[in-house]
Amino acid sequence: MRALARLAAAVLVVASVAGLAADAPPDRALATARAVMGEHPEIWIGASIIRGKHAVVVTGHAASTPPSLSAPGAPAEARLADVADSARRTVARVWGPVDAVILAPATDEQAEVLASPSGVTGLAALADVDHVILAPSGFGRLSPTGRRVVLAHELTHVATGAAISGDMPAWLVEGFADYVGYLGSDLTARAVAAELAAEVRSGTLPAELPGREAFRPGASRLPQAYEEAWLACRYVADRYGERALVALYRAARRHGIATALVETLGTDLAELTAAWRGYLRHELA
Ligand SMILES: [Zn+2]
């Protein structure tokens, strides 16, 4: 345990939950955490920084809780660092290394400020360029599995630079993040994609892969959009292999989805869509 220099108005305490020496996250992650805290120092008064093996978790404390009573390194915070470490390991295995910097503000209002101009209404977490912001009430409602899924999903966005590659197809960005998120969760397709499964069982199959509009907060079939995207990426991984899915994503960032599909899978959007619809029927009906 060591004290950091004062950062603006925030008083920081670094607590180790998993041994600092060889397993310590690169200083880059800590530097990133300090930089993003410096953008809103008023939110991080009394905050603690928890270091997992790789992840850095910054936890805010409600103004009503004196910093001296809010015990940095409390069990819930240590668990969060463990979950972030586990999520980061999965992202690193599939995609490559990522600095896992997680901001856990004390209130939804603070999360809203941190996430501006994006909102956090209805969200558990969201990814910025180099860090993940948790929305306390949304994230707090999740099961332990749900928290790990969400952290791996958002860390995938950070790793792949989703916040700075706006022209990527939404189904690939969200589907790939959920593909990584649900890895190792042992959840069945029908459990994860319950809303979509209900539609498929009643005889309705989506005609096309979900576009950007389908992922807007408040969209009428928002859960189904994520489920459709997840199953599109899961289909690619099942049929062509996980490495092909990663190659598709990387190629789409470089030269767009149409060229990427031909280059990496030898297919086109119409063929992929038809195969995906068959996969939905097979997995969900
Ligand atoms: Zn996402």
Domain boundary among 164, 191, 220: 164
Same domain, 174 and 103: no
Q: Summarize pLDDT for 73-98 with one digit per residue, the tens.
A: 567 777 899 999 999 999 999 999 99
- Cα of 64 to ligand 1 centre, how many Å? 32
- Cα of 2 to ligand 1 centre, how many Å? 35
Same domain, 119 and 211: no
- Cα of 170 to ligand 1 centre, how many Å? 9
Tell whether the model's pLDDT for residue 22 goes beyond 70: no
CATH of residue 8's domain is: 3.40.30
Band (pLDDT 50/70/90 cuts) for residue 21 is very low
Residue with tokens 């969201």: 126
Closest CA to 126 of 141, 111, 137: 111
Q: Summarize pLDDT for 38-70 with one digit per residue, the tens.
A: 999 999 999 999 998 889 999 998 765 554 444
Contact 227, 195 (CB under 8 A): yes
What local confidence, expressed as pLDDT, does residue 26 receive?
58
Same domain, 64 and 136: yes
3-state class of 218 per DSSP? coil
Two tokens, residue 146: 């749900």
Domain range for residue 8? 2-164
Same domain, 134 and 183: no
Cα distance between residue 140 and residue 175, in whole Å: 23
- Cα of 157 to ligand 1 centre, how many Å? 7
Domain boundary among 164, 197, 223: 164
Band (pLDDT 50/70/90 cuts) for residue 176 is very high
- Cα of 126 to ligand 1 centre, how many Å? 7
Contact 81, 18 (CB under 8 A): yes
- Cα of 141 to ligand 1 centre, how many Å? 18
Cα distance between residue 98 and residue 87, in whole Å: 11
Q: Summarize pLDDT for 248-274 with one digit per residue, the tens.
A: 999 999 999 999 999 999 999 999 999
Two tokens, residue 190: 């029908």
Cα distance between residue 211 and residue 209, in whole Å: 6
Q: Summarize pLDDT for 138-168 with one digit per residue, the tens.
A: 999 999 999 999 999 999 999 999 888 778 9
In the chain the first and final C-alpha atoms are separated, in Å, by 54
Q: At what angle do helices 242-260 and 170-182 cross, to 10 degrees?
A: 180
What local confidence, expressed as pLDDT, does residue 20 receive?
41
Percent of the chain with pLDDT over 70: 86
Q: How many domains does the chain have?
A: 2
- Cα of 153 to ligand 1 centre, how many Å? 6
Domain boundary among 105, 131, 164: 164
- Cα of 162 to ligand 1 centre, how many Å? 9
- Cα of 177 to ligand 1 centre, how many Å? 6
Contact 128, 163 (CB under 8 A): yes
- Cα of 267 to ligand 1 centre, how many Å? 25
- Cα of 154 to ligand 1 centre, how many Å? 6
Q: b or e along 163-196 (b: 16 or more beta carbons within 10 Å of the residue's beta carbon)?
A: eeeeebbbbbbbbbbbbbbbbeeeeebeebbeeb
Cα separation values, 15 from 2, 50, 59, 191, 201, Å: 7, 5, 11, 38, 50
Query: What is the average per-residue pLDDT within 275-284?
Result: 98
- Cα of 71 to ligand 1 centre, how many Å? 32
